[in-house]
Structure 1
Amino acid sequence: MPEYRAHFDATVDFVNGGSLTAEGFRLDLPSAALDADAVGRLFVQHLGLALVGRVEVRGLHIVEEQHRGSRGIPAPVASDDDSAVGSASGPARRVVDLSHRIRAGLITYPGLPAPVITPHLTREQSRDHYAPGTEFGMDLITMIGNTGTYLDSPLHRYADGGDLASLDLSTLVDLRAEVVHVADAAERGVPASVFYDRDVRGAAVLVHTGWDRHFGTERYANGAPFLTPDAVGHLVDQGAVLVGIDSLNIDDTESGGERPAHSGLLAAGIHVVEHLTNLGELPARGARFTAAPPAIEGFGTITVRAFALV
């Protein structure tokens, strides 16, 4: 279903003196059928302002645009379709695949080897081992763990860190998702301030940069968005469980060999998922996220099938 946002300038006067002015403000709306007064009330509620005397909204323009998580705006309810799951006792839920497909020759990260897929047992060969009319194919894949959409465990960064087999499934499955839509950000680095209005404790924090549109091309490796060190510190302090991004790396790979995001998050036991896709299909709040890797001992990073229920 369509989502709407208001673009406007505003001035708020307070009954005990003083005022606040906003230019080019954007606000999620529950529908397009709102006038300036209604938008003004939502603006005050979103900012949590008290002792407001007068609100003036100017240059109001309502557009069809994805919600970004304004407070007090209910998440849209999914409609029934072929991809929805549910029952008569509850609303339909839509499954959104957030993983890139893996194929032979796929380049995920420049400089890392591509997967090689070869047959171990062909169907023709299997006929010598099974009853007439019964045949199987068994294939072999040679693949670095950092392929497609993948999850990092602490062992990826730290020699004494926990491996994939040590991870608690409760921190990987059916997590409350806080999705931060910053695909129109002017800067590559995503700062701590974009998370200030979010309750990230116990949540999967998913950063939608839109960079996945370049996946599989040369463009993907240059100028990619990333998390700034202060954002990492904030997410650690506020108790996030998992942090994911739809970009080349959660760190800035063009600033040298430092990796403050990997270092800080994995040291705190916060899972890292990179190379996500389709995050633009998720609401800012309300989705449930899963990215569970196989329990491989002595291994730090592996491909996952990440998805969300909306």
Structure 2
Amino acid sequence: MPDYRAHFDFDIRFANGGGLRGEGFRLDVSSADISSDDLELLLVSHLGLALVGSVAISDVRIVEEPHRGSRGVEAVDPHRPHRIVDLSHPIRAGLVTYPGLPAPTITPHLTREDSRAKYAPGTEFAMDILTMIGNTGTYLDSPFHRYAGGTDLAGLELSSLVGLRAEVFHLEDAWDAANRGIRPEMLADRDVRGAAVLLHTGWDRWFGQPEYGSGAPFLTGEGAQWLVEAGAALVGIDSVNIDDTESGGERPAHSLLLGAGVHVVEHLTNLGEVPARGARFTAAPPAVEGFGTFPVRAFAEIG
């Protein structure tokens, strides 16, 4: 079933004086035939307003668009079948994940042909050696990645990596080349305590291409601080880095999030297929001692 959003103007008057007006407002709706009365109530609920005296909406258009997480609208249709969305980029020999870092190589330790002499007739195996930097493909940063005394991959609690409530912020149209930073104001309309906050920017469309390495959206230091204070458990992004790599070496998002024990997952993909709310997110790396970053098979469970 498709998702719908209402586009409209509104004028709200409060019972104790004053008012609030909006132009070109957009709001998730449960169906294409929502009534004006229900839309007015949904608007008040979404904005969290009290003592509303009257609501007038005008120029209403119902458009088929993915939901963005408006409060008061069920994020996942309970009648939809359970499905899993893969949020990871495949790793292959020669893949350039981050410009300037080495690409992985895959070499044989035991070929199928050579193995035939070691096993019974009709039995063969392939054993290969994968050489790669931890920052390859879709990967998770543990606190040890940033801080010498931080928790390494082996010390992470699985409960903080598996089946997390996902809050997906669909931000493809919320940033541009002049304002690439994701700020607190873009995130503050939802409760993210204990959640995996997934930032969908659409930048993954350039993954593996030269365009991926420059001009990318990122989480600002202020945005990271807000997420720490709001109690997020994990923050993921589908961009080249959660920080601005063109800032001269500063990494406030990494520093703040990992310093607070908030996991970071970079180079996600397919976030556009995950609803704003209602999914579960998993991204578990192997338990490697003395290591801070490693690829994950990240995925979302929906329904």
Answer with 193-202 or 293-302: which moved more: 193-202
Answer with 147-156 or 50-59: which moved more: 50-59
Kindly indicate whether the alpha-carbon contact (under 8 Å) linking 2:76 and 2:278 is maintained by their aligned counterparts in 1.
no
Helix, strand or coil for the counterpart of 1:202?
coil
Helix, strand or coil for the counterpart of 1:21?
strand
Q: Which residue of the partner structure matches residue 267 of structure 1?
A: 259
Kindly indicate whether the alpha-carbon contact (under 8 Å) linking 2:198 and 2:235 is maintained by their aligned counterparts in 1.
yes
Q: CA deviation at 1:40?
A: 1.8
Say if 2:78 is the partner of 1:106.
no
Kindly indicate whether the alpha-carbon contact (under 8 Å) linking 2:162 and 2:281 is maintained by their aligned counterparts in 1.
yes
Question: d(CA) in 1 for partners of 2:76 and 2:296?
Answer: 28
Question: d(CA) in 2 for partners of 1:18 and 1:279?
Answer: 40
Q: CA deviation at 1:119?
A: 1.2
Answer with 262-271 or 31-40: which moved more: 31-40
Q: Which residue of the partner structure matches residue 211 of structure 1?
A: 203
Q: For residue 26 of structure 2, what is the amino acid of its counterpart?
A: R
Kindly indicate whether the alpha-carbon contact (under 8 Å) linking 1:229 and 1:261 is maintained by their aligned counterparts in 2.
yes
Q: For structure 2, list consecutive stretches of 5 or more residues without a partner in the other structure.
A: none
Say if 2:119 is the partner of 1:124.
no
Aligned length: 299
Q: CA deviation at 1:226?
A: 0.6
* Aligned with residue 228 of structure 1, among 207, 217, 220: 220
Greater RCO, 1 or 2 (C-alpha within 8 Å, sep 6+): 2
Q: Which residue of the partner structure matches residue 272 of structure 2?
A: 280
Matched residues, percent identical?
A: 69
Helix, strand or coil for the counterpart of 2:82?
strand
Q: CA deviation at 1:79?
A: 5.8
Q: For residue 219 of structure 2, what is the amino acid of its counterpart?
A: L
Question: d(CA) in 2 for partners of 1:302 and 1:78?
Answer: 34
CA RMSD of aligned residues (A): 1.2
Kindly indicate whether the alpha-carbon contact (under 8 Å) linking 2:5 and 2:65 is maintained by their aligned counterparts in 1.
yes
Q: CA deviation at 1:159?
A: 1.5
Question: d(CA) in 2 for partners of 1:109 and 1:256?
Answer: 16
Q: Which residue of the partner structure matches residue 29 of structure 1?
A: 29
Question: d(CA) in 1 for partners of 2:27 and 2:286?
Answer: 41
Question: d(CA) in 1 for partners of 2:138 and 2:276?
Answer: 21
Q: CA deviation at 1:309?
A: 0.3
Q: For structure 1, list consecutive stretches of 5 or more residues without a partner in the other structure.
A: 81-91
Q: CA deviation at 1:78?
A: 6.2
Question: d(CA) in 2 for partners of 1:76 and 1:32?
Answer: 16
Helix, strand or coil for the counterpart of 1:100?
coil
| TM-score normalised by L of structure 1 | 0.94
Helix, strand or coil for the counterpart of 2:212?
helix
Q: Which residue of the partner structure matches residue 84 of structure 2?
A: 95
